[in-house]
Structure 1
Amino acid sequence: MRSRGGYKPRLGVRLISTVLVGGVLLTGCTSAATEGPEDERSSPASTAPPKPVSLELSVEEGAKDVEPGLPVTVSATDGKVTEASLIGKHGTVVEGQLAEDGSGWESAEPLGYGKTYTLAATAEGANGKPETKTSTFTTATPAQQISVWTNVDDGQQVGVGMPIIFTFSGPVPDRKAAEKALRIETDPETEGAFHWFSDESVTWRPKEYWQAGTTVTVDAAIYGRHLGDGVYGSEDNFAKLTVGDKVVTVADGETYQMTVFVNDKEVKKLPISLGKPSTTTPNGTYTVMSEHNGYTMDSSTYGVPVESGGGYRLWVEYAVRLSNSGIFYHSAPWSVAQQGNTHTSHGCINLSPENAAWLMEISQPGDVVTVKNAGEQTLEPTDGWSVWQMSWEEWIAGDA
Structure 2
Amino acid sequence: MSTTHEGHRTPGPQYLVAGRYRLQSRIGGGGMGTVWLARDQLLARDVAVKQVVSTEGLSDETAENVRKRAMREGRIAARLSHRNAVAMHDVALDSGEPWLVMEYLPSRSVAQILHTTRTLGPQQAAQIGAQVADAMTEAHVAGIIHRDIKPGNILITTTGRNAGLVKITDFGISRVKDDVSLTQTGVITGTPAYFAPEVARGAEPGEASDVYSLGATVYTVVEGQPPFGVDDNSLVLLHKVARAQINPMTKAGELRPVLLRMLEPNPAKRPTMSESRDLLAQVAAGPRGSVHQALTSPLTKPDGGVPVWAQRAPRPPRTHPTGTHLPVGGPSAHGRPGPTLQGPPPTLSTDPSHTTFESTSRYRPDEPGTSPAGKPSTSTTALAISILAFFVILAIVVVLLIALAG
More strand by share: 1
TM over 0.5: no
Which structure is higher in RCO with an 8 Å CA cutoff and minimum separation 6?
Answer: 2
Q: Which has the larger radius of gyration?
A: 1
Report the TM range for the smaller structure's normalisation.
Answer: under 0.3
**TM-score if structure 2 supplies the norm length?**
0.23
